[in-house]
Structure 1
Amino acid sequence: MKRFSQAVCSAVVIGGLLAGCSSQGDVTSSTPGTKPTESAGKKDENVHLTFWRNSGNDTENAAYDKLVAAFMEKNPNISVEMTPIPYSDYDTKLRVSIASGSPPDIMALDAPTLGSYANAGALKPLTSYFKADGNMDDIPKSTLATYTYQNEIYMAPLTESSIAMFYNKKLFDAKGIPLPSKKSG
């Protein structure tokens, strides 16, 4: 899939990603099920992009809907057809679409799967877009490293998972176990 999903601009950030691609005149146009063609990026040219993502909870779905709607309002010549796919089916459906030559233009990926998709040639490097207008200094180096494969950035950050630990202070106190440090690290 040589578009954002290969030729398409990899993953996960409709607003920043598509805006970055369209500002560079490298948006691809396609109809569902066909290979995209390079566009001159003309403002009067209509472009249709397909966007696949894991379906999430209602709050996450609403956030994606708002991102896509805001992007299309700002770029009226670009329509984005977003397709949420159940998590359990997503990776299989995505890999089959890539293998058959009919991947989506944009796809959401989890960082741990980035290397396999990039190695398979299914993603377009985004490094030049980030260097041009990605405010790379605003992205933590550890996050940027997660979206990088063989020195090329292939994903744009949209969300980042956080880990928290909850514990019952009374149980710790009862067993004489020191409480975790309040220092953030």
Structure 2
Amino acid sequence: MTHARISRRRFLWSLAAGASGAALAACAAPAAPTQPGSQTAGEEAAPPSQEPITITMHIQAGWEEAVPGMYVRRPQTFMEENPDIKIEMVPIPGAEYDTKLLTLASSGTIADTMHTSDVWTQHTRMVKLGVLRNVDENLEAAGISKDEWLPAAINTLTIDGKMYGLPKTCHPGDAYIWINEDLFNEAGIPLPEVSGVTHEQITEWAEALSQGPEDDRSVYGFVPRVVGIQGIVNGARQFGTYENNEEGTESLADNEQWRQWAGWVKSFYDRKQAATDNALPSGGADGLFLAGRVAMRPNQRFFYRRVNVGMEEVEKPFSWRVIQYPRGPEAKGWGASVDTHSVSTACKHPAEAFRFIYAMADQTFARYVAEDQGYLTARIDDLETVGDMLYPFLELQYQCMTEEEAFRQPANARGLEVETVYKNELDKLWLGEEELTPAFMQNMKAAVDEILTKPF
């Protein structure tokens, strides 16, 4: 195979551009028309051998314990189903994961397969550097349709007309709000429906639910979650705008919809119905929600399990529910946070590696993830796969997943740098250091555009 290594020059250039942050971000499967990836056009499957072929996979250290359905149960059942293949996980500490992958690719020692994420354009960068292998021929040879997965996932993984990797998950990021039902009942507010809540209602409820003097709140009404690109982009999209133009070369952050979103978020800080992270105690707003001191808290799907477990540990447990984040009348789709399992171009057994990454995106995988984590994956048939264990949050996840659109990512794959600019600039608003004016939004757009005009 070609592209087994990245040239030193391209590698250093990539590091200078900033490797993107890795996201955490998870029934028997029906048989494919043929053995997935058993033979690809132009390639012959490995000849029979007494010794199984070893396929390695890079994941973040700790994931085998944290998400065993993904990285223990499914690999084990795959090996039972495919005794000719042995799977070995090769963990990398999370803080150095992206940079380490590029280092290993440069030296030609990268694993056969790996987890990647395109939330911060890491996956796209790896594709453009020639690290990842496209799967189109494998899918065709195995008779597997891309229609098995959500369109937003396929669109995200299709780069220059070819698809790279198979979807591990495709989730909508910060699309949910956790509600303390006890506080709603005490305030005499009817409990909201799962979806259909408006921005105006959240504003009204935050006023009624906040308790204590402004400089010493005992309960915050609504604490926004604007710590990363998922919360920022999804927030603006619900007011009817995208983050960038279609080409990913210009920010749209100076338009009226962006300003409306920023003003809505800023209002909670201005009225002291929320506090910025640096003003909160250890554990932040998530910890305060578990302690009964935050009435409404936006978050991602991982928080469902944390709240479930937390209610068994806190001194005063309370009733709670999850609703959908408000969507305006012109709302755009939730930004699709897509994680993958991909085959490297350095892999010496790509057909066998494809068989494995397909198993890490099939119905059995989806079932294990739902059982262990309470997540859905990226499959069109996720709800059918977990039909006997459905509960409202799984149904809400699927609703949001079907409303997703691919991110309008930076064309130069500098996603992490763009996120940093947005966070730094918007923090000035939340902290009261800047006023929300057209000039402020124009300056933020200009700062993002400066990143978007850099070379790959």
TM-score by length of 2: 0.31
After superposition, residues 116-155 of structure 1 pair within 5 angstroms as: 116-132=125-141, 133-155=143-165
Q: Which residue of 1 aligns with 2:39?
A: 24
Q: Displacement of 1:118 after TM fit?
A: 1.1
1:84-123 alignment, distance < 5 Å: 84-111=91-118, 112-123=121-132
| Cα separation, partners in 2 of 1:173 and 1:136, compared to 1, 3 Å | same
Which residue number corresponds to residue 52 of structure 1?
58
Which contiguous aligned blocks of 4+ residues in structure 1 show a shift greater than 4 angstroms? 1-5, 167-171
Structure 1 residue runs of 5 or longer lacking an equivalent are: 6-14, 27-37
CA contact (8 A) 2:4 2:105 kept: no
Q: CA deviation at 1:84?
A: 2.3
Q: Offset at 1:173?
A: 3.7
Corresponding residue SS for 2:55: strand
- Structure 1 residues 132-165: Cα deviation after superposition (integer angstroms, max 9, x where no partner): 4333112122110111111111110112233323
Going from structure 1 to structure 2, the CA distance change for 1:73 and 1:97 (only over 3 Å counts) comes to same
Question: 1 CA distance for matches of 2:54 and 2:2?
Answer: 16
Match of 2:47 in 1: 42
Q: What is the root-mean-square deviation of aligned Cα atoms in Å?
A: 3.5
Looking at structure 1, the residues matched to 58 and 72 of structure 2 have their Cα atoms a distance apart, in angstroms, of: 12
* CA distance in 2: counterparts of 1:4 and 1:53, whole angstroms: 19
Q: Is the Cα–Cα contact under 8 Å of residues 59 and 114 in structure 2 kept in the other structure?
A: yes
- Mapped contact 2:58–2:111 kept (Cα < 8 A): yes
Indicate the SS of the match to 1:81: strand
Amino acid at match of 2:67: E
Query: How far does residue 59 in structure 1 lie from its aligned partner after superposition?
Result: 4.2
Question: What SS is found at the alignment partner of 2:122?
Answer: helix
Whether the 8 Å CA contact 2:64–2:72 is kept in 1: the answer is: no
The equivalent position to 1:75 in structure 2, one of 76, 82, 87, is 82
Q: Unpaired runs of 5+ in structure 2?
A: 6-28, 30-34, 190-201, 209-324, 330-398, 404-456
How many residues are paired up?
Answer: 160
Aligned partner of 1:166 in structure 2 is 177
The answer to whether the 8 A contact 2:59-2:90 is kept is yes
| Secondary structure of the corresponding residue to residue 42 of structure 1 | coil
Structure 1 residues 81-108: Cα deviation after superposition (integer angstroms, max 9, x where no partner):
1122221121121111100111101111
The CA distance in 2 between the partners of 1:77 and 1:167, in whole Å, is: 46
| Percent identity of paired positions between Structure 1 and Structure 2 | 25
In the alignment, the residues of structure 2 paired with residue 134 and residue 42 of structure 1 have an alpha-carbon distance, to the nearest angstrom, of: 23
Change (3 A) 1:2 1:161: farther
Comparing 158-167 and 62-71, the one that deviates more: 158-167
Distance 2:85 2:107 in 1: 25
Structure whose residues are more often helix by fraction: 2
